[in-house]
Structure 1
Amino acid sequence: MANSTKDLILSYLSDLSENFDFTQVNHFTASSISDEMHISRSLASQYLNELVKEKSVMKINSRPVYFFHRKKMEELYQTTFQEEDFYDLEEVKEYVATHSKGEGDYSQIIGSDKSLAGVIKQLRESFEYPPSGLPMIVYGERGTGKRTLCTTIFDNAARKGVIDENTKLMKLEFSPGHNEDLLHKVFGQKNKIGMIDSYDHIVFMLCGIQHMSEDFQNRLCQLIEMDKSHYRGQYKNKIIRYMFICDTNPNLFINERLLKNIPVILNVPSLKEKSNEEKEELIIHFIQQEGKKMEKTIKISNVVLRALVNGDYDNNMIGLQSTIRIMCASALRESAGKSEAIIHTYHLPEHLLTTMPIMIDEDVIYIDTTTYKKSEQIDFILDYFNRIFKPFLKTEHFLEALTESKHNFDLLGDYLSYKQRIPPVRIKGTEISLSNILDIVLKKRYMNLPSGFCCTLAKLIYIHDLYSSSIQKWRQDNRNLIDDALNQMKTHLFNESMIVEDITRLMYTNLEINTTDILSAIMMIYIHHYNSEITNRKIFGMIVCHGYSTATSIADAVNSLLETYVFDAVDMPLDITVDEIKEILMERLNRMNHNADVIVMVDMGSLEQLGKSLSTAINCNVGVINNVSTRLALNVGNCILNDKDLKTTLQKVSENSLAHYTIIDRKKNDTILFISESGIHMAQRMRELFENSFPLQVPVDLEVCDYNQLLASGANHEFFSSNNVLFMTGTANPHIEGQIFIALEEIISGNNIDVIMNRLSKYLKPDELNQLLDDLRKNFTLQNVVGYLTILNPKVLLDNVSLAVETLQEHLQKRFGGKTLIGIYIHVCCLIERLVTKSAITEFNNLEDFKKDNHVFIQDVHDSFQTLSKRYNITIPTSEIAYLYEFIAADEEGFEDGELLSKLDRK
C-alpha cells in the first residue's frame, strides 16, 4: 500500500508539473499534496522525502518546503538540476536563469519560428525587462492570435521565475459603454479598494483598448509616469506590467500622452501575410483538433488543402477555424460507423470552391492529418541552393566555381521542371513580366539570356513565396557563405553585377518583388556564362517556331549542349502574320553586333520570305534554314562557334540535313545515392563527407533521396529510371532489388571498399584510386563519421554509446561482430540525435505485436541505455527500439549460425 501511494504521489507531481510556473508553487507543498491525495501531512512528507532520496523529486528548503518532479523540471527547462537541495525559490530561479538552454515554450504557437518569431522576441524582451518590464501595445486584425501571444509570454515568464510567484494576471476587456465599471474595478472608489490596491505584483492585459475612455487613459498615464519617475506614492512597493491589445493602429485612438509612455508597439501579421507553409500548418492543426473531438481520423484531399491555403477568411484564424469546423461537420455525417472521415472538394464553402484554380495532370491524394508531416520538397531545393554557393569556398579557382555553380543551377532547373512541377497558371504572369524586364535591360547592352531562364526564375520566385520562412532561415544560417560568394562575383563580374542591379530595381518597381541575394547571384552567373564571348561573334542564330515554347525548347537544348549562347528563340502563336514576326525579329536582332550576319531557322518553308525583308531592314546578310530541328540547330551552332562564314555554314548543314533514324538508349548520369532513415539532412551530411574524400572532381552526381519514398516505391522509384546508380550508401538498407547498398559501417570497417573502387575505376587512375582509398580511411573513422552525422559532441557521445551497447551485449549474453558493432554505434548515435532534436521515428508496422513478442528485449534496451537517457534527458520510444531490433536482426548473417536472432526470438 505504501509503495502504491508513493507512486501515486510521484505521478500526481508529474501531472502537476506539466504546466509548472513560479506563480503556482503553493500546489507543491506537502500540505497541498496531502489534501489532494487524502492522506495525512506527515505521511505525505515521509513519501516525498523518500522520493527526494531516490532523486525522483527535488526539494526546496524554504518556508513552506516545496517538492518538484525532477524529470519534468529538467524537460521543461532543458537542463540537469543539481542533486543537492535548493535553499529557496530564488536559488531555483537563479539556477534556471543561468543553466536553462531554452527561451521558453512557444512551440504551441504555430508560426513561432516563422512570421511570429520577431514579434515573440520583442514581446519577451520587453515583458522581461527589469524591474517591471516595458509597457507594450500589440495590435493586429481580429483573429490573429494577439491574446494567445500575450498569455504565452506571461506563462513563460512565470515558468522561468522572471516574475514574482505572487504575480496576478488581470485580463480586462473594454467595450463601448463599460469603461466606468472597469475604472472602479481597477482603481477602486470611495471606501472600496480596486485591483491595484489588492496585489503587489500585477500584469494588466488590457484588451480592446480602442474602446478605452479618456479618463481611463489619463489614470493609466499617472500610474506609468509614477513608475518611470521612481516616485510611486501609495504604490511604492508595487511591480506593475502593462500589455495593451487592440485590433487597429493605436495612433488612431490613444491620446498622445499615453502613447509617449508606451515605448513598444508591435504589429501581429494577418493570415494573408503568413507564408503558405505556415497556413498549411495552421489548417492541419485545426483539423487535428476537430479529429480529437470527433474521435476519428480525418483525411483531407490535396486539392482541398490547396484551396484552404489560398482562401480568404473573415477574422483571420477565427474564420479559418470556423470554415474547417463546418467542413468537418459535413464529413462527420457521411462517416457514420466508420473510423475515419474524409474531407472532399464538395465540402468546401462556395466562396472557396468558385475561386479554386483548375489543375491539369494532378492526381488526387488523401492526406492523413494524424500522421501528417510537412513536405521535404523545400529541403531538396535548399540543398541545391547550398550546392550553387558552395563552389565559391574555393576562392583560388573562381572561374571553375562559376562553371560548377552554373551546372548545379541547371540541375535545380531540371528538378523544378520534372519533379517539383509548378502549374503554369501560377507563374505565367510573372514569367511574362520578367521576360519584358530582361528585354529592356539586356537589349541596350547587346546581351541575351536563354528564353527558358525567365520561366525558371519565375518558378524560384513562386517557391520563395510558398516557402518564404524556410528560405529566410536558410539565408540566415548561410549568411557568410552567400556574402562571400556575392563579394567574389562583384569583384570578378563587375559589369554583370551592375546589370543585375538594374534588373532587380525594375522587378521591384513593376512587380513589387524584392529580389533575394540568391536570385541575384544566379542571374550574375547566367549573364556571364552566356555573354562572355558574344560581342566578338561573326554570326548570330535565331530559331522561330509556331506553338508554345517550341523554339525556346530547341534553343535551350542547343545552347546547353554548346555551353554558350548561340541561339535566341521566338515562340509564335499559330495565327501570327509574317509582318508581325518580322517586327519581333528586328527588335531582337537589333541587340546584336551590327557587323555580324544572321541565320534564322524556321519550322515552315513559308517563312523563308523573311530573309530578304530582314536583310534590308537591318543591313546585314541573312540566311534562312527551314524544317528546324535540334540536330540541325546543333550543326549550325557548331559552325558558328568554329567561325565558319555564312555561306559555308549553310552549305555544310544542308548537306547533312537528310533524315536518319536509329534507336538510342537513354543516357543516364552515373550517381551515388545517399540515404538515411533520419531524413535527408543526415543523408546530406554523409554526402558531404564522401565528397570531401575525392582527390579531384569526377562526373558522378552525388544525390540524396528520401528513405521512406524509397521503401514505398522500391525499384520503381523514378530516381532509378533517370539515373544510373553506381551504389547506394547510408545508415539503413532500403533493400532495393537490383541495387547495391554499402552500409556506412562497411566503409568504416573496410568491407566492400573494392566495390566502391571498381565502380569509380573508369573515372580515376590507379594512383587516384589509391588516394581516394587513403582519404576514405582517414575521413571515415568512427569518431569522424559520428561527428559529421550528429550535432552532439562525438567523443562524449561515443563513450556513452559504447558503454550502453556493452551493457546490452551482457543482457543479451552475446558479443556482436566488428562490422555489426560499428553499425550499432552509428545507429544508436543517430537515434540519440533524433530524440534530442525531437524528430524521433514514431511509426512502426505492427508495433503492438512487437511489444507483445519482445517485451524482454525492450526492457533490456531501457536498462542498458539508462545512463544515456539520463545524460541526454531523453526517453527512448518503443518504435525506435523496434528499429534497433530490426537492425540487429538484419545483421544475423554476421553472427555465428544466426545465434543472436534465434536468442532474440526465444526471448
Structure 2
Amino acid sequence: MKSTDNIYNFLIKEHPDDKLTTQQIASSVGLSRGVVSSYLSQLYRENRLVKSGTRPVYWMVRREVTEFSKVIGYNGSLAKIIKQCTEAIIYPPKGFPLIITGPSGIGKSYLAKIIFEEAKRRTIINKDANFVVLNTADYANNPELLSSILFGFKKGAFTGADKDTPGLVDQANNGYLFLDEIHRLPTESQEKLFSLLDSGKFYPLGENKEAHKVNVRFIFATTEKLDNFMLKTFMRRVPMHIDLPAFRRRPFIERFELVFHAFRNEAKRTGRSIEVSLDQLNRLVRTDKPGNIGAMENDVQLICASGFENVDENECIFVGKPGEPTIFINANSSFEKTSYYSDLIKDQVIKLQKKTSNLLNRESSLDDLSLAVDQMLKATKLMVDEVLIKDLKIKVYKNLKEFLGERYGVDLNLDEEKVQQIASAFSLGELFNEDTVQLSKNELQKSFKKRYPRCFYLFRQFILHTFKRSIREMDLFCFPLMFQNKCVELESIHFTGILLAHGRNTATSIQSVVNNLCGNYIFEAFDMPIDVSIHDINEKVQHYLNQKGQSKDGIFVLFDMGSLNQMFKEIKHSSDDELLVINNLTTAMALDIGIRIQRGDSFKQITKAAQKFGDATGVQYYEGLSDRDNIIVSCMSGVGISEEIKKMMAESLSGKEQIITMDYKDLQHTLDTHEQDFFHKTNLVITTTNIETNLDISIINIYDIMEKPGYQELKRLLIEAGETPGNVDHLMESLLKFFSLEGIKDRLQFLNPDVVINEAQQITAKYQDYYQAEFEGKVRLNLYMHLSLMIERMLIRSHKDNEYTEIPLNNEQEKEFFSVSHAIFKGIEIKYNFKVDDYEISLMYQLLKSYI
C-alpha cells in the first residue's frame, strides 16, 4: 500500500468529516510535517481531498455528492441513519423495505422522498419511476375503501365499481410506495401487504383468479410504537427500522442549520433579504414543541411575516430587537458548517485566549486559569448544546475513569459540576471554526507544555483516546478545568519512566498495576509486536520523549528482552538526560522502581538498588562497556581462570581500573558487533589466545608476558593507566605463581602445591639477587615448576639408596654456579632433610646459564 493511501485511510477511518491542518495530521500519524504535506498535496491532485483556508490550510476527505447530501446532519447525527437508508436501497436483488419512526414534524416524509431520489441517482430504479404516497390515516375509518385505493378493484367488485381500476400498488410498480401513518393500517390490509412483500403478488378487490405481479419498493412511517399496532408477522418482513430523533435531540449546530435553512426559504418566498438577531436565532434553535422541525418552520414564517409587515418594498426584513448582533440571510446564502456558530462565540474565544496567555506569562495558577474559562462558559451559556453536552459528559467521565484512572493511576478529583463544565467547553470546541479567527494555538500549547509537561502529556493522550484526534484550540481551555486539583502532585515526579514489552497488553498491564499502586503517573508503556526492531522501539520512545518533554532528573527504561547495550545506545544518542536501562521486565521490578521514584529517591540511589534485582536482570546506566576505566580478562579455557586472574589483579593493582571478566565467545562477539566508542574506557584486553579485530584496542596474550617483550608491553600499558612499576611486578609474580601451580598441581604426588611454590619463588629470587639479573617470565615459570617438582623428587630419593652421579665441571663459571647453588639449597636441604645432587644442579645450570 502506498504511503498516500495510508494517510487517506487514516483520514477516512478517524476523521471522515473533520477539517484538519497539516500539522494535526502529521502529529496523529507520527510523520514529519513536510512529508505529510507532500502526501496531502498528492491526494488533493487525485481529487480525494478538499482543501480550504490559507494560514493554516485545512484538509478534508472529499465526499461523493448524493441526494442524502441535502439532508442536514447527513454526516453528523444522522450519519448512521443515512448509511442504513443506503443499505436498504442497494441490497440485492431489490433492496428491502424499511420503516421510519419518530415524532411528528421531524422529516419522515422528506427522508422517504430523498431515498427515492437516491435510488434514481444510482440508476437502481428508472428515472421515470413513480413515488406514490398514501397517508393511511385518511382512510382509517373506512378499511374497504383503503383496501380498494391501495390494491385497486375489479369491475363489479362493489356498487359503483363500473370498471377495472388499478390501485396505488400498481401505480408504484418499479418504483416506491410510501405509506405514512402505517399504524392506522387495518389488520386485513397488513395481512395482504405482508403477502405482497413475500411473493410480489396481490389480488385487487373482486379478483380471485389472476394475481397481479409487481416490483415495488416499500417505505413505511409512523409516529407510534410499532408493537402496539403492527402485526408481528408484518414487522418480520420489514428488516430495517430507522428512528429519527426529535428536533430538540439534534446537535446544536444541526438545529442552527435547520433554522438558517427555514429563514433562507422565507427569503426565497418573499424575495427579500432577512436580517435576524443572534438572540432570535438562539431562541428558535431551542424550540421544543410537539411539531418539531415543522413547528419551528411555522414559527420562522410567522416571525418573518411580522417583520415583512413593517418594511417598505424591497427593504430587508428585520427580525429581532434593535442593537443586537445580527446576521444576514438571503435566497442564495450558504451555511458553512460552523461559521455562524463561530461568530457567536468568536469574541469570547479571543478574550479567553488573550487572558490565558497573559496568565501563563505571569505564571498564575491553574485555579486562576480555570476561573477565566468558567467566565467564558457563563458568557456563552445560551449557545450550549445540551444534547451534545450530555453525550460528551458521559464520554469524558468514562475516559477519565477508564483511561486516565485505570492506565495512568490518576484520579483528578473532579465532581459532577466540574465534569459538566469540561463537557461544555468541549462542546464549544466541537463546533468552533478556527478559520474565522487568527489563533495562536501553538503558542498556548507550548506554554502549557513548558509549564505543566506531565499534565499536558496526559491531556494530549486523553484527547487522542476520547476523540480520536489531535488537540484543537478550544480543547486547551479544558486543560485547567481538568488538572487544577492534581497538577502539583503530577508535576512532582521529575523522572521519566517507560515500560516496553512484547505482546498485546503486557507492558500496559504492568503499567496499570504500578501506576495505580503508586497513585500517580509514573510510567508510560508501549506494547510491541514480536518482530519489532530496536530502531522502531527507539522511534516510539523518542516520539514519547518529544511529546512529554525532557525530564529533570533522568529516564528509566524497563524492557522485557533484547540487547541491553543496543537499547541503551539507541536511546542515549537521542537524549542528554541520565539514562538507566533494565532488561527482563517484571511487575515487581517496575513497582520497586516506581515506589522509589514516587518517594523522591535520586537517580544514583535508584540505579544502585536496580543492580540488586538478580543475576537474570541486566542493568546499564552508562554508554559503552563500563562507565569506569577497565581491563577485560577472557580465557578460552573458561571463566574460572579469568576469575582467578581478576582476583590476582585486584590484589596487586591499585583498584583504579575495573576488572571485567568475559566468556571468550562473548568477548569475540562483543568485539565484532560494537564500534570503537563502546570500548572508550577499556585500557587493555588480556586473553589466553590471539584475537583478530579491526578495533584499536590493546590485546595481550597472557602467555606472551612470560617473555620480555610481552611483559614490557604489559608494564607500559598498566603504568600508562596509572599503576606503579612495583604493582605491575607484584602482578607478574602472582601470575607466574598461579600458572606454575596450574602446571604442577596434577604432577605432585604428595606435596602441597601452594607451599612448595613459595620455596621455588624464594630459590629463584636468590639466584636473581646473586647474579644481579631479572629473569624473563617464561624462565621464572620454568624455574618454579622445575624446582617444585625437584623438591618432591629429592624427598622421594632421600628414602631410597642414594647413588650420586658426579658431574664434571669444565670451567670456573660452572664451579662457581655449583658452589653458589649448594649454598642456596642449604636451607631447604635442612628443612626437608635431603641432599640436592649435582645432577639436579646441572639441570638448573642449563636453565640459567644465559644469565650467568
Q: TM-score, normalised by structure 2?
A: 0.36
Q: Greater Rg, structure 1 or structure 2?
A: 2
Q: TM-score, normalised by structure 1?
A: 0.34
